[in-house]
Structure 1
Amino acid sequence: MLNGKESNFKLSKFIPKYLLPLFILGIIFFGFSQSLIISILVLLIHNKKEVKKVFFKTANSSTHQSDEQLASTLNYQDQQEGEGNIVVDHKEETKSGHINIDLSQMSKNFHFSKKAFTIVLLIFGFIILFNLCTFTVDESTTVVVKTLGNMNKVIVSKDNTAVDIQNTLKPDFKNLEIIKDKGLFFKIPFFQEINAYTSKLITYESTEELVTTGDKRQYMVKFFAQYKVTHPGLFEISMGSFSKANSTLDNLIYPVIITKINKLQSEDFLTNKERLYKELEESKKELNEKIAQYGMEVDDIEIHRTLLPPANVASTYDKMIKERQAIAQQIRSEGDEEYDKVVAGTDREKKEIIGAAIEESEGIRGEADAEALKIYAEAFSKDPEFYEFLRTLKTYENSIDSDTTIYLDKNNEILRIFSNGR
């Protein structure tokens, strides 16, 4: 086995007992990151002897160390077989993990670098001082700065217009500095306190409440609102926490919204979204006037859910059926009325077309008869006797058929043609 001094490392010796309480106090007063840096610095100072070994550097003579000097630090013990000792091979000892190196010889070739240790301490000191003297405000944060417990400035977003109006509501804040900017800011450590609040929208959700519309119908309504902190100073002295803010909004939002719903008819409340949103918008304006003194502003109010009370479900269902039936009957009546109008119009148009056609046909027929008479007159005027003959034949044709028997005198005009041999 290699000769060397065995290191008896103890964790309790490396970490002092007072480090944990110091770390907890640091978190309370400075925050986690700054407390961690201070604890690391205290740990390094407490174990400065061990830290020195990290900053040892080799002397110039150590660069020319010969193989013989290096071999002198590794000694093998030869044990005789007669004495019950076994010669242990260097490779076997290495595998078994029992090699101990004597650092007493190696430490002579190193010396401590005070300059490097000083630089590290300065860097850690600068980091601690920088963290103690600065703070950062991001886009989602609004900040209250207090000096010796007195509020002297607030830091908000650039587009925050409500903070100026709300600041005039409290006379004590007339000298309060309002900074509309984000980024890195400086502070006096131990004298100035930084309280940060989120500037994001916070969602408030109400419990289900029973409301009555203008026509005396009841509904279970659940609504929500989204609000944000616009003046962190007013919010801190009046609310202090978002749980209290939610409780305050619960007491303010419900009466405002219920008053608006009580004026609406149930049909408007359920189906007329434009009318409902208009009422909610008016509710939001009225509510913002009330909560301005708390440094808050409501951005949106919406109806989350509307349900019927269990006792009114059956009656409301029957009433809805009757209403739909009445609407259906009205639609049918309007359809029948429109059908009668279309049929009457069609019949009238049909009669007009038929009348016009008859009138036109009678005119054509009259013209044709007149033309025929004209042709007949012109033809008959050329041979009257022949015309008389044709008329006699036409008379015979119209008055005598196969079943007719006529008795005539031979001097009858009709038989004149036959009696004279014509």
Structure 2
Amino acid sequence: MKKRHIVIIILLVVGVILLSSSTYIINEDQVAVIKQFGLIKTTIINTKDYDLVKQNLIDNNKEDVKIIREKGLHFKIPFIQNVEKYDAKYLTYKSRTEKINTKDSRFLDIQIYAQYRIIDPVKFNESVISESGANYVMDQRLYPVVIQSGNRLVFNEFFQSEVLESNITEKLDQLNKKLMEDFGLYVTDVGVNRRTFPTDNIASIESKMSKQIEKESEKLIAEGDSAYQKAKASTDRQRKELIASAIEKAAVTKAEADAEAIKIYQESLNKDLEFYKFIQRMDIYKNLKDTTIFLDKNNDLLEYVNGYQ
């Protein structure tokens, strides 16, 4: 009876081992290759990458490799086939810091980044094998492209993200074609995440910036002075025009008033000349008060005096 129990336990253990050796699970964020006697027979990929992987296998003479797009539980031949899995999520590459000599002969330290994925696990397994190997590939293939693109830009363009990224993106399609064909990798995003001035250039840069600021300041001051002089000249001209216009209007008004006064005066004389003479005599009498004068008997003034004695 004990022997029978031992046999059953042994059979169960063997069954568990065989079952675990004949099944494997591929998660949604994984891709894999299944090898038989060291040769890749099957690959499990993301559904959306099927066309790219299929074409890449053809280009690399691997048409006989079976492509599986379903993730989850799968079966294999135990002890004969083995599975190698890779991360299918976006991986991040960060470069070492590199000194750039810009088109206008200025220096800048930059560090780039890239987002990439393992799309064809067959080619990746044959040429790269690990994520650290993928970073090495980026150092050798992607990094020089960015540096060469940077050398064709002027200093200020490094701080205009759209200019730099546009310059890099132009070469990305051609670069991805080679990365897929040679390593099964695909870059989706590239950029510069750090721009710093080389330590030995800081003093020179500060001097150039100071001179540039001084030059801009002088330009703005000159423009301000010019604008002030123009505004002042315009204001003075307007003031003189207003004064001249006011003087002209005042002169016209005074002339009109004088003319009107003379007209009224003349009309008054024409209406009652005798009354005017009477008023004149009264003014004379007023002025003669407490005054002694000597007049000739024929003086016209005596006529006014004698006429009103």
Q: Map 1:2-401 to 2 at 5 A.
A: 127-160=16-49, 162-170=52-60, 172-269=61-158, 271-293=159-181, 294-387=183-276
Q: Deviations over 1:5-44 (max 9, x none)?
A: xxxxxxxxxxxxxxxxxxxxxxxxxxxxxxxxxxxxxxxx
Say which one has the larger Rg: 1
Residues of 2 paired with 1:414 and 1:290: CA distance?
131
Number of aligned residue pairs: 302
CA displacement, residues 189-245 of structure 1 (integer Å, 9 cap, x when unaligned) = 233221111112222222222210011112222222222211111111111222222
TM norm structure 1: 0.61
SS in 1 for 2:103: coil
Q: Which amino acid aligns with 1:417?
A: Y
Q: Mean alpha-carbon deviation: is it higher for 296-305 or for 276-285?
A: 276-285
- Partner of residue 417 from structure 1, selected from 294, 304, 307: 304
Gaps of 5+ in 1: 1-47, 53-111, 401-405
Distance change (3 Å), C-alpha of 1:383 and 1:136: same
TM-score, length-normalised on structure 2?
0.80
**How far apart, in 1, do the equivalents of 2:148 and 2:281 lie?**
107
Change (3 A) 1:356 1:200: same
In structure 2, how many angstroms separate the alpha carbons of the residues matched to 1:330 and 1:412? Answer: 86
Question: CA 1:193–1:375 in structure 2 vs 1: closer, same or farther (change >3 Å)?
Answer: same
CA distance in 2, matches of 1:250, 1:410: 136
RMSD: 3.6
1:163 partner amino acid: V
Residue segments in structure 2 that go unaligned for 5+ positions in a row: 288-292
8 Å Cα contact 1:257-1:283 kept in structure 2: no
Structure with the greater relative contact order (CA < 8 A, sep ≥ 6): 1 or 2?
Answer: 2
Q: Contact between 1:235 and 1:295, CA under 8 Å: does it hold in 2?
A: yes
Give, as a single letter, the amino acid of the residue that structure 2 aligns with 1:178.
I
**8 Å contact 1:143–1:196 — kept in the other structure?**
yes
Q: 1:417 to 1:226 in 2, by over 3 A?
A: same
Counterpart residue type for residue 247 of structure 1:
Y
Give me the whole-angstrom Cα distance separating, in 2, the residues matched to 1:410 and 1:190: 168
After TM superposition, give the deviation of residue 301 of structure 1 in Å: 1.9
